[in-house]
A and B are shown apart, each in its own frame.
Chain A
């Protein structure tokens, strides 16, 4: 799968598959546009790897307590940025291969992705100040 992604980027292939046609977003009205749940591998490819805007990827799990705290906290801050950054949520039980591919071992793991590359990352819970700095760096850099 990693090879396919690399190859696609190399050949600059156009995005394939339905564009976020069945993506579920939630949160505030601003959040509704900027946060979505990844549906499958090609959805990740379309909306994260090939995203023109930087994307924050939140790898989480049902059974992970800290994830339930970090998720909403991060969403709120992403929503405040009014579309400058998008947030993709990946349930690692539903998308195990994707999580393994991106070397997730513990959850929550959050990746900052720009132009298909992982430019930043953190594992575990962070407070609002830390998250704001993380997001600022992603937009600024």
Chain B
């Protein structure tokens, strides 16, 4: 018979909701399925997906909390009378952040209602290419049929399953943002000093970019918690050719960012990997690890152990094998073509679940919208994944757009590339007597006649705000001469981009001085 819906979207996150709402604009009958499987620690959340609940939004807000802490320290130099040290209360920040996220959950729910998209809070799996069987939390079954189905279930954090105790005692970013109490013991009332709260974040840098872990470790340190980052290897030289996301394993940029974190108090255990996690009588966690450099086992106790070893696509319970949707055997992600189509007609996929795409909200949203326009709006426009700008919100932020230096060299050859770079000092750091050693930028250009800009990389405050504008220029094919003709705004950090002139090739000192 006839299918109930024109479009069924599985997954109410950035990509899924955008696709559903756009399709509804064309007067189609659309339904969205969203379901959050509780984390091993029991954390769960509402409609909106990873970005809203356990990603971009809470992360940026907590990053802001940490930045405000730094600002308070700087404030004294600018004349403010603030008694140091200033203390941070996790529960106040967490409640503010969690309340805002809840308001977004509600907002999404209202939007679906307003756009006449049917919402089901059920966990869906395929029965056949046009039929989804869904289960409510209570176990009640619903069957939904649709002409077209979009899979947008995203991913969840991985656990290092081979480490005993990892699953039982560790948390991930899924849990961190929803903690009501500080990721450590709250100061014991009957002691007259603050108990130091120790957290360890383990990241495995083999395949993934370290941003989630470094961002979290960054703000945890910034709010005053004793934080250690353990990494199996130092950031790699290579890069992921398929993804070509500018920040992927950029050794130079990653090491500058981590250097900054180190100078601000984050501890790093490099070339170490955990072998087990045990719970002590005091409720603290004992972590044992192998130090590859010293070739010995070491151990220490922490209040919280957080894993940041990458994300796995949420496909296991979808029953993809039944309908024949092909996935990448290594990553488990769904294989799609340039039009987001899977190996099965009328079944599509967008967002983090798809192979070879950036794991970013804006690309998921854009891809979802364009897909709906192609399906129901007579459009043929495909998603352009080229020159997608992005930013890592570590204490010293790293923003970029276009090719990494390595990717440019791989594509064009080092003789055909010119890299302009500079170390600079933000004006605001001067009076505050802040160390600007890692404030750095580089622009990768073609060497031939036009000198088109291939990529721009910026480490410094407000990197995201700085890079956004330049992304337009790069999209339009801006060239080095055009950049040099662009007048800078003074005094800003961004203006230094328009003044880049020292090349890596020259070997000259790239430190620029202010006016």
- Residues of A at the B interface (CB closer than 8 Å) are 61-64, 92-93, 96, 100, 104-105, 107
Task: Name B103's contact: one of A63, A100, A104, A105 (CB within 8 Å).
Answer: A63
Decide if B102 touches A100 in the complex (CB within 8 Å).
no
A34 nearest CB across to chain B (Å): 27
C-alpha spacing A34/B381, complex, angstroms: 59
Q: Which of B89-122 contact A (CB under 8 A)?
A: 98-100, 102-103, 105-106, 109-110, 113-114
B455 nearest CB across to chain A (Å): 40
Contacts of B99 in A (CB 8 A): 62-63
With A61-B103, A107-B106 known, 9 other A-B pairs at CB within 8 A are A62-B102, A63-B99, A63-B103, A64-B103, A92-B106, A93-B102, A104-B110, A105-B110, A105-B113
Contacts of B98 in A (CB 8 A): 63
Contacts of A61 in B (CB 8 A): 102-103, 106
Decide if B100 touches A63 in the complex (CB within 8 Å).
yes
Contacts of A96 in B (CB 8 A): 106, 109
Residue of A nearest to B103 (CB): A63
Contacts of A104 in B (CB 8 A): 110
C-alpha spacing A79/B241, complex, angstroms: 69
Decide if B113 touches A100 in the complex (CB within 8 Å).
yes
Main DSSP-derived SS at the A contact region:
loop
Contacts of A107 in B (CB 8 A): 106
Residue of A nearest to B102 (CB): A63
Give a binary string over B48-61; 1 marks a CB under 8 Å from any A CB, 0 the rest: 00000000000000
The 26 listed contacts between A and B (C-beta, < 8 Å) are A61-B102, A61-B103, A61-B106, A62-B99, A62-B102, A63-B98, A63-B99, A63-B100, A63-B102, A63-B103, A64-B103, A92-B106, A93-B46, A93-B102, A93-B105, A93-B106, A96-B106, A96-B109, A100-B109, A100-B110, A100-B113, A104-B110, A105-B110, A105-B113, A105-B114, A107-B106
C-alpha spacing A62/B100, complex, angstroms: 10
Contacts of B113 in A (CB 8 A): 100, 105
Contacts of A105 in B (CB 8 A): 110, 113-114
C-alpha spacing A104/B100, complex, angstroms: 18
A63, A92, A105, A107, most chain B CB atoms within 10 A = A63
B98 nearest CB across to chain A (Å): 8
Closest 7 pairs (CB-CB, A-B): A63-B99, A63-B103, A105-B110, A63-B102, A100-B113, A93-B102, A62-B99
Contacts of B100 in A (CB 8 A): 63
Residue of B nearest to A62 (CB): B99
A72 nearest CB across to chain B (Å): 19
A97 nearest CB across to chain B (Å): 9
Q: Which of B63-107 contact A (CB under 8 A)?
A: 98-100, 102-103, 105-106
C-alpha spacing A107/B102, complex, angstroms: 13
Contacts of B110 in A (CB 8 A): 100, 104-105
C-alpha spacing A63/B98, complex, angstroms: 8
A115 nearest CB across to chain B (Å): 26
C-alpha spacing A96/B112, complex, angstroms: 13
C-alpha spacing A105/B103, complex, angstroms: 11
A71 nearest CB across to chain B (Å): 16
Residue of A nearest to B113 (CB): A100
A64, A93, A107, most chain B CB atoms within 10 A = A93
A132 nearest CB across to chain B (Å): 29
Contacts of B46 in A (CB 8 A): 93
